[in-house]
Amino acid sequence: MDIKRAKEILENTGDTIQVLYQGAPVWLENIKDNNTAVVSFIENHRKEEVPIYKLVENKSANK
């Protein structure tokens, strides 16, 4: 994912957009800088800073 799309998802208030990190669904919490984001794992609510380029939008789940 690129920074532009990450910001669009974070600012989206209408739809739930599924984002994956290493195959696990996450909630995009915050963008730290142009390279990292804070995510919360859906399964266990653990927060972690991750590289934005490793986030994947699950477009099939967002239809």
pLDDT digits (tens, 9 = 90+) for 3-59: 999 999 998 867 788 999 999 999 999 999 889 999 999 999 999 999 999 999 987
pLDDT grade, residue 60 (50/70/90)? confident
Provide the number of structural domains found in the chain: 1
Is residue 10 a contact partner of residue 31, using CB atoms and an 8 Å limit?
yes
Kindly report the backbone phi and psi dihedral angles of residue 59, in degrees, each rounded to the nearest multiple of 5, phi listed first: -65, -30
On whether residue 63 sits in a domain, the answer given is no
Domain residue limits at 46:
3-57
Is the pLDDT reported for residue 61 higher than 70? no
Q: What is the pLDDT of residue 57?
A: 94
pLDDT for 16 equals: 82
CATH number of the domain bearing residue 7: 2.30.30
Whether residue 37 is contained in a domain is answered as: yes
